[in-house]
Amino acid sequence: MRILVTGADGFLGRGLAAVLAEAYPTARRLVLTDLVFAGQAPSGLETIAGDLGDQAFLEQLMAPGFDLVFHLASVPGGLAEREQDLGHQANLLAPLALARAAAATCPGARFVFASSIAVYGNLNGDTVTAETKPMPLLTYGAHKLMMETYLCDMTRRGALSAISLRFPGIVARPINDSGHGSAFMSHIFHRIAAGDVYDCPIPAASTCWWMSRKAAVSILLHAANLAEPIPTVVQPPVLHANLNAVCSAVERITGKQALMRWGNDGNLQRIFGTMPPLDATPALSIGFRADADLDTLAKAALSGD
C-alpha cells in the first residue's frame, strides 16, 4: 500500500503523521507532502516538500500512484477570505488537480478529503442532519463544498473512492497558528492552562462544535478503512457545547481558574458561535466517534494530541 498525506506539516497533518506508521505497518510507502517541513518527520516516513499548485511538482509527486490519499492541505478560512487568489489556487484549483492526478495514476484510490463545517453557512438553529442544505458564507466553505461535489462525482464514476469529512475547528491548535477565524476555540485551552487572562472575542454562552486532534485523526483513519459502499460526504460526530462548559472542563483538567473576558464580535459569533445541535446518526452508525466528553476533549487538547 502506498499512502500520501498532503498538508502533512499542518496541525492535523502532524497528528496524522505521528500515528501513520503504526496504523499501516505493512505500507510500502508513507509519503508526507507540504510546502515546507518545519520539523522532522516521524521515522519511516518520506517527506517531499513542494507546491501542489505547481503542475510539474504535482505530476512528479503523483507519478508512482497512491492507493490512499489524505488531502489535508488548505489555506484557512480567514486568510482565504482576505487573499482570494491564494484561496482559489490552494483550496480549489490545487485540490482539483490533485484529485485528477490521484485518479489518473491509481484509479479507484481511496481519497480522504478534509472538508469543513464552513460548507453550512448560516445555520438557522435547527438540528443539523444529513438533510441540511449547505449555503457557505465564506469563500473557504464554497471551495470545500465545490470539492465535495467534484469528489462525489469522481466516486460515482469510479475514478476515485472519495470521502469528504466535514470537520469543525480542531483543538487545540498552537497559539501562533494564524488565519483561522476559529482560533479562539484553541486559545481558551492554552490561556487557561497558562493561567493567563483571555479576551475571548465572543460571549460565554456561544455554542460551538468541538473535536480534538486525537478524535480527528481517528476519524481520518476510520474513513480510510471504511469498506465499500462508502458514503461520499460524512458529517462526523462532534461535541456540542458552549464556551462556558468548555472552560469548566479545562479548569477541571488543569486545576487552574479560567480568567476570561468575554467579547461580542457579532460576525465571529454568527459564523462559529451559534452552532445548533448535530444529529450525526449516519456517521455514528458506521463507526465514526467524537471525543467521549468535554473532559476527554480538554485532556487531548492540552496534551498536544
Report the interface residues with its own copies, using CB under 8 A.
Answer: 88, 92, 96, 100, 131, 133, 135-137, 139, 142, 145-146, 149-150, 152-153, 156-157
Sign of CA pseudo-dihedral 105, 109, 112, 113: positive
* Residues paired with 198 in a beta bridge: 260
**Shortest approach of its own copies to residue 203 CB, angstroms?**
25
Which of 138/249 has CB closer to its own copies? Answer: 138
Which of 92/215 has CB closer to its own copies? Answer: 92
CA angle 295, 299, 302 (to 5 degrees): 135
**Shortest approach of its own copies to residue 156 CB, angstroms?**
7
Look at phi and psi of residue 92 and say left if phi exceeds 0, alpha if psi is from -120 to 50, else beta: alpha
**Shortest approach of its own copies to residue 139 CB, angstroms?**
5
**Shortest approach of its own copies to residue 153 CB, angstroms?**
4
**Shortest approach of its own copies to residue 109 CB, angstroms?**
16
Which of 12/163 has CB closer to its own copies? Answer: 163
- Smallest Cα–Cα separation from 260: which of 206, 296, 180, 181? 206
Which of 132/296 has CB closer to its own copies? Answer: 132
Which of 145/239 has CB closer to its own copies? Answer: 145
Contact (CB, 8 A) for 141 and 292: no
Report the SS3 class of residue 163. Answer: strand
Contact (CB, 8 A) for 222 and 290: no
Distance CA 92, CA 195 (A): 40
Cell reading at 174: 498552537
Report the SS3 class of residue 2. Answer: strand
**Shortest approach of its own copies to residue 182 CB, angstroms?**
19
Sign of CA pseudo-dihedral 6, 9, 11, 14: positive
Which of 142/297 has CB closer to its own copies? Answer: 142
**Shortest approach of its own copies to residue 82 CB, angstroms?**
11
Which of 135/259 has CB closer to its own copies? Answer: 135
Parallel, antiparallel or unpaired: strands 170-171 and 46-49: unpaired
